[in-house]
Structure 1
Amino acid sequence: MADDHTHVQEFFGTRAANWDTRFPDDGPAYGAAVDELGLRPGDTVLDAGCGTGRALPALREAVGAGGRVLGIDLTPEMLAAAVRAGRDRSGRLLLGDVARLPVRTGSLDAVFGGGLISHLPEPRQNLGELARAVRPGGLLALFHPIGRAALAARQGRQITPADLRAEPVLRPLLASSGWQLVSYADEDSRFLAVAVRQD
């Protein structure tokens, strides 16, 4: 586990300062994905693997002044970039691991995970930890601002059937972790899978 953490921290730590400038047009896609969650004023929502906090302003707008917005990330440099961008005004930033969330069982109404799933060292257990933290009937959104094929092309690799984000892989993975997949979109312009926390 420590090796996985070190790899993730090194990968994102060296890229944190320029992360937002590398992908300057992604902001509206984050807002649109948050809109699809149907969050209500007063809800408590976690941005898991929040990075530079690009989803935090949209999450704050969705839950209003009476809601709670938390952002957790493993990489100090990413959180520092979020603060420099002023996104800490939209939510409370936490340095931590999604494998061991510092929140009470059932205390969240929703989790937003932008670009998260491909960086989970133990996907079944890690998704199970997210399920622990979310109340029954609460939501999980797994998001990326471009779809699987477009991302593979950007990275110069081929898309594979074993990809965790492929629907035939993701659906049973979520089901074994306490979630039911309720919507799935994999288009050039976005990837968005929404699941509901089962009782």
Structure 2
Amino acid sequence: MTDHHTDRPHDIRAFFAPRAAGWDAKFPDDGPAYAKGVAALGLQRGDRVLDAGCGTGRALPALRQAVGRHGVTLGADLTPDMLEAAVRAGRDTHAALLLADVARLPLPDAALDAVFAAGLLTHLPAPSDGLTELARVVRPGGRLALFHPIGRAALAARKGHPVTPDDLRAEPNLRPLLAGSGWDLVRYEDGDDRYLAVASRRPSRAPAPSTKGWKKSDGGVR
């Protein structure tokens, strides 16, 4: 995703829909960066992981490889055109695709071990609410990776504007935002080659609700 700020779901769809068909061609060399970003999550075989705001699904092959055939890989995006582009690219073979707002996910509490989110934060109309929803669906001790294949300064230079102090992705802003949403920031990188913030889901005092009855293939887009 890009650094374009939007306010409502239909604005997000309006921005991404006409760009979906050419999205992968616009960023043809991002695959290795995505694979390294996924590796930072420390996924184990059999884990359950969500790519939140998956777009055309560039992270899905690496996520599937990390969790193996007994793991669960989901991709959720708000824009149908992006999910259709993911299907055309064959990435639906690596994950079940959900047409869903990541601020209102159709998943039970504590259903996941981890979430990967590329370029998502600046597209959340209410970042705290969105991060809180991601915390809801991740088990205590699970991980969240906020990722971009280039750092904030490089991205700002590409767009012709400076990095601003109020950028939510800056560590002094991100750390308290995550803390107030159920996460502890445990790793932060912001270099030319990537942006990566890894957070751990805070322990919950209450027992996690059962996920009995949750079908791994629910919500698949075909």
Query: Are 1:39 and 2:38 an aligned pair?
Result: no
Residue 24 of structure 1 aligns to a residue in which SS?
Answer: coil
Following superposition of structure 1 onto structure 2, how do residues 1-199 of structure 1 map, counting pairs within 5 Å? 4-199=8-203
Partners of 2:182 and 2:85 lie apart in 1 by 33
Q: Counting helix residues as a fraction of each chain, which structure ranks higher? A: 1
Inter-partner Cα distance in structure 1 for 2:73 and 2:92: 10
Change beyond 3 A, Cα 1:132–1:82: same
Q: Equivalents in 2 of 1:56, 1:158: separation in Å?
A: 32
- Structure 1: segments with no counterpart, 5+ residues: none
**1:76-105 Cα shifts (integer Å, max 9, x gaps):** 000000000000000000101001111110
Equivalent residue letter for 1:52: T
Distance 1:181 1:150 in 2: 23
Answer with 1 or 2: which has the greater Rg: 2
* Aligned residues between the structures: 198
Residues 185 and 18 (structure 1), Cα distance of their counterparts in 2 relative to 1, 3 Å cut: same
- List structure 1 runs of 4+ shifted beyond 6 angstroms: none
Counterparts of 1:145 and 1:119, CA distance in 2: 16
Q: Whose relative contact order is higher, 1 or 2, with alpha carbons under 8 Å and at least 6 apart? A: 2
SS at match of 1:103: coil
Q: TM-score, normalized by length of structure 2?
A: 0.88
Q: CA RMSD in A?
A: 0.9
**Structure 2: gaps spanning 5 or more residues:** 1-5, 204-222
What is the TM-score normalised by the length of structure 1? 0.98
